[in-house]
Structure 1
Amino acid sequence: MNAKEDLEFAKEHRIAPGKRPNLKKLDTKVRGPFDDKDDAKAFTAETNHKIRDLQYRMFVEEKQSLLVVLQAPDAAGKDGLIRKVLGQMNPQGCRTYPFKVPTKEERAHDFLWRIHRCTPAAGKVSVFNRSHYEDVLVVRVNDLVPKRVWKDRYKIINDFEHMLAEAGTRILKFYLHISPEEQLERFKKRLDNPDKHWKLNTGDYAARDQWDQYREAYEDAIEQCNTDHAPWHVIPADHKWYRDASVAAIVYDTFLSMDPQLPPVDVDLDEIRSLYQREAAELGKASSS
């Protein structure tokens, strides 16, 4: 696969606004246009370089920002995706926020309080490892608040994301779509690897018994909170290399559409060249004497 006719293959993962995805029927093992794993990895590496260039332009421009939201079942690869794609951006202008169980202070505020202060400033990228959607997912499945509370949150989330978009933030939301079989295999690999034991949690296994409830909650969240300015993409994630390549393609395509520009030059370049040449000549004379 060449420079990839370029990014069209990943666009099919965009869920159309108003459409409810059927996650049970959506394939988790997509290979896309790639010949093999190495082909996909080469594409991702090349695309990462292009992303870094455009991210640098946005950082210097300081007019736009990008918010990337990652949601997924455990072991679907949020950390790996951040490491291999999103974390490749310049850390001066990109920061990742892992949203864990709310602290006592966070629970004392509205559910968006801890989220809003992590949204990106102009020129910056924020990556959410889990997000405000936990408050219509885990909260719903585990009956942590009444149904009337979490149902109202869909509108609150839509209003929140609309406000961010109006302020110049582009929003990309990714659901990493993994099969129960692949998840179990990855749990086993964690168990077999001492370096991954820190990731083990009995709660992750317990959540497998709620697979259908979580799938329904995700389908509702994607259907209810999917707009042109804050689109959802369902990314097949059983093949890690395809997951990385497709997200890289979508992020790169988004940066291209944002078209960040370096600020105009407001200095006299000829004057600066003249000063440089003069000083270089003087230093050359001094070193030769």
Structure 2
Amino acid sequence: MSRRDMLLAAAVASAWGFNFVVIDWGMAGIPPLLFVAIRFAVVAAFVVVVPRPRGSWRTVVGVGLFMSLGQFGLLYTALALGLQPGLAALLLQAQAVFTIAIAAGVLRERPTAAQVAGVAAGVVGLAVIATGRGGDAPLLAVLLALAAALSWAIGNVISRRAGVVAGPGRLGALSLTVWSALVVPVPALALSLVIEGPGAVLAGLAAFGGRAALSTAYTAIVCTLVGYAIFNALLARNRSAAVVPWVLLAPVVAMVAAAVLLGQVPTVAEAIGGVVLVLGVLVASVPLAALRRVSTTRRPAARDAARRGRSTAGERAG
């Protein structure tokens, strides 16, 4: 990756990590499911400028239900119940562990030894986090965050089965994200009315002010539209093994932002479990051989350039 692409990858991952703090900040006084409905109504509005993804509507609906409605409905509810944004970002990384396990059963993708080791490390990390969580992290909220990660993983498998790739004219991740957002607002609002109650919905709409609007704009436009557009572009011109690890910067940024801005410092057990979980996700997601290929890609090119330079200098000297 070029230095410019590395800076872009770091910027996107940082924006995604800071997103958890922004959601928690903007949701004050607004029921979580109603907030989800509003967020995805904004995302869905961009179907007028984003091309429709090629593929079946079954895929679009499946991704919308699991990757968007399920993931964020559960995540927002967990945050509303008191889960710290940093810990929430960390727990969502379990989606990589769940994705490998589900893909093995549904898609018959046989996991590699590195993936098995990564999944095992991820499970250990989750166990450490769950048993050593601080008093401000309710068990129900932790379980809901893990359920959000599971829902995200199911959406990943649906996308993978459909052959989602980055790039225009194909079933791209950005197009699928925007068009699948059409599935979310009505069910989320219906669930909000049933679970949170009509009174809470009306009160939430009345409380929706500039703070909530800024939060919604950040999550819908900066993180979803701009973030996915940049990330897809990075995947289009770089190896996946060089781009994907940058996503692991997101929970780090979320935890640092939550500690600095909200005073939510993770416990020792949460920090240790988080490190083990992130390492497990890294091992499971990016095979060591791929990382070696990326790290050595430029060496032959550099040697060739040096040889050409020496050859040219020799010719000029002659």
Q: Same fold (TM over 0.5)?
A: no
Question: What TM-score do you get using the length of structure 1 for normalisation?
Answer: 0.26
The structure with the largest strand share of the pair is: 1
The structure with the largest helix share of the pair is: 2
